[in-house]
């Protein structure tokens, strides 16, 4: 038995089922085998473990690289436990420093998908600051096109925190996890370096998530609002009916 299986069935799934009582809709849309990318909205910390706990297939998430580096000394013990746990369950590090290093950081996730596994991605790059759906970053499209994998849009609703168990574990009451039909971008396989095309693919993925979640869409990065200079008023001015749009582009040429 793998550590992933042990944690999932002995600890996480029983806890999620009893504490959250989530409703799962459309799991049959996840292919039973073969490479898949799950692209989900991100409104709560609960989603990172609730989704893998409630579906049959094993999911690999790219976790921030800092989690894999435990600190020394007694005070660093909790961080070393976390580092061991994320490695034990097969999660992979993602360099979020930006630019080329961030793109190359998808390498471990790409390997998982190319080997027929399931990768989970939160295209917004961070949790929504206000419950709305924000512009997706293109890593999800680059991953899907490089691996030639279908993308299953996922929307979690009702996962807002209702408190913290022992002051640590976020709680939620009766959230719903919806899996949409797979999006097929196979005609664009290998086109992950075409910037306009990956933007279109990313917007199509985000729109599928929007349709499942019913969220208001903001055409701006959530990170700009949380960490950059974007004000709430400016974000409000960027509310759109949907991400992107327009006809499907032609596949890239060699």
Quick: pLDDT tens for 47-93.
Answer: 888 898 899 999 988 766 665 566 666 556 555 655 655 565 566 66
Residue 147 lies in a domain: yes
Residue 106 lies in a domain: yes
* pLDDT value at 100 more than 50: no
- Lowest pLDDT segment from 77-91, 115-129, 197-211: 77-91
The whole-number pLDDT of residue 77 equals 53
Query: How far does the chain reach from its first CA to its final CA, in angstroms?
Result: 45
The whole-number pLDDT of residue 99 equals 43
The whole-number pLDDT of residue 245 equals 87
Q: What's the CA gap between 50 and 34, in Å, rounded?
A: 22
Q: Going by C-beta distance under 8 Å and a sequence separation of 6 or more, which residues neighbour residue 73?
A: none
* pLDDT value at 39 more than 90: yes
For tokens 């055409």, the residue is 219
The dihedral sign for the CA sequence 197, 201, 203, 207: positive
Residue 150 lies in a domain: yes
The whole-number pLDDT of residue 93 equals 67
Higher pLDDT, 39 or 15: 39
Q: What's the domain range around 98?
A: 32-240
Phi, psi (5° rounding) for residue 250? -75, 150
Half-sphere exposure of 100 (CA within 13 A, CB side): 0
The reported pTM is 0.90
Residue 65 lies in a domain: yes
Residue 213 lies in a domain: yes
Residue 12 lies in a domain: no
Beta strands, E only, the chain: 23-25, 36-40, 59-60, 62-64, 92-94, 118-121, 133-134, 151-157, 163-165, 169-171, 176-179, 217-218, 239-240
Domain count, the chain: 1
Q: What's the CA gap between 54 and 17, in Å, rounded?
A: 8
- pLDDT, tens only, 179-197: 999 999 999 999 999 999 9
Residue 204 lies in a domain: yes
* pLDDT value at 12 more than 90: no
Residue 173 lies in a domain: yes
């Amino acid at each position: 038995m793998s550590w992933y299986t042990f944690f999932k069935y002995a600890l996480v799934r029983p806890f999620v089922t009893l504490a959250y009582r989530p409703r799962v809709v459309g799991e049959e849309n996840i292919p039973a085998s073969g490479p898949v990318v799950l692209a989900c909205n991100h409104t709560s910390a609960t989603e990172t473990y609730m989704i893998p706990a409630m579906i049959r297939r094993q999911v690999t998430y790219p976790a921030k690289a800092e989690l894999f580096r435990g600190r020394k000394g007694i005070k660093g013990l909790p961080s070393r436990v976390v580092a061991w746990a994320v490695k034990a369950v097969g999660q992979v590090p993602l360099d979020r420093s930006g630019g080329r290093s961030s793109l190359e950081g998808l390498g471990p996730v790409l390997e998982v998908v190319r080997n027929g596994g399931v990768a989970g991605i939160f295209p917004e790059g961070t949790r929504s600051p206000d419950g709305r759906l924000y512009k997706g970053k293109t890593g999800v499209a680059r991953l899907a096109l490089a691996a030639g994998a279908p993308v299953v849009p996922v929307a979690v609703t009702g996962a807002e925190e209702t408190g913290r168990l022992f002051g640590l574990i976020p709680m939620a009451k009766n959230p719903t996890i919806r899996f949409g039909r797979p999006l097929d971008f196979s005609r664009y396989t290998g086109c992950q370096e075409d910037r306009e095309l990956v933007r279109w693919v990313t917007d199509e993925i985000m729109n599928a998530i929007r349709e499942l979640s019913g969220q208001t869409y903001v055409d701006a990065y959530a990170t700009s609002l949380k960490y950059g200079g974007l004000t709430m008023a400016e974000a409000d001015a960027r509310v759109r009916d949907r991400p992107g749009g327009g006809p499907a582009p032609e596949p890239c040429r060699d």
